[in-house]
Amino acid sequence: MAASANDGNAEVRSLLDPRSMDPAGELLDVRDLPRHEVDQVVAVLEAMNGWRDLERSLSEEARRYMRLGETDMRALRYLIAAHRQGVPTTPGMVARHLGLSAAAATKLTDRLEAGGHIRRRAHPEDRRRTVLEVTESTAASARASIGRSHAQRFRAVAALTPDDRASVLRFFAALSASSEQAEPD
């Protein structure tokens, strides 16, 4: 039951609910949807926001634990994945993966090396080139934080039925398509 605005206990409806954020239906007219369906859509959007906030918090916690920035963590995840796949990884490959300039990639590599997170080694096939390797201690820290979180997410998705996973995939594809369409020119 909604409290009156005068008693100090009034609650603001979800910021994701078009009934409160767009009551005139200028962007989205939900009058043809039953109330319980609009409530369910809002609940899904709120769950997505909750997950995003939790994921952001977990990522921030892992970065603090490892004393790294976002780009540094992305570089390390890439290097770990490449190592596990047996791919010798050059600084140029990291730069391309992260969309960095050569200068920015050099600073990143220097910073990660100075922090004891990576080592530079001669390329196994071309000794004139350099490859990057994650140190054992950093790999163990990443496995303990990021790896464990990913394993838990994988288990949650694996627990879904194949039909449910197909629905989730369709949902994310539709969400991505709608986001691409909404981008300003």
Residue 126 maps to which CATH number?
A: 1.10.10.10
Looking at the structure, do residues 80 and 108 belong to the same domain, yes or no? yes
Looking at the structure, do residues 49 and 118 belong to the same domain, yes or no? no
Looking at the structure, do residues 122 and 132 belong to the same domain, yes or no? yes
Domain count, the chain: 2
pLDDT at res. 113:
96
Q: Mean pLDDT of residues grouped by 10 in the chain (185 residues)?
A: 53 83 91 93 92 85 77 93 94 96 95 94 91 93 82 94 96 90 62
pLDDT at res. 85:
95
- Does residue 9 fall inside a structural domain? no
Looking at the structure, do residues 57 and 93 belong to the same domain, yes or no? no
Domain boundary among 24, 45, 66: 66
- Does residue 149 fall inside a structural domain? yes
Three-state helix/strand/coil letters over the chain: CCCCCCCCCCCCCCCCCHHHHCCCCCCCCCCCCCHHHHHHHHHHHHHHHHHHHHHHHHHHHHHHHHCCCHHHHHHHHHHHHHHHCCCCCCHHHHHHHHCCCHHHHHHHHHHHHHCCCEEEEECCCCCCCEEEEECHHHHHHHHHHHHHHHHHHHHHHHCCCHHHHHHHHHHHHHHHHHHHHHCCC
- Does residue 25 fall inside a structural domain? yes
For 18, the domain range is 14-66
pTM of the model: 0.65
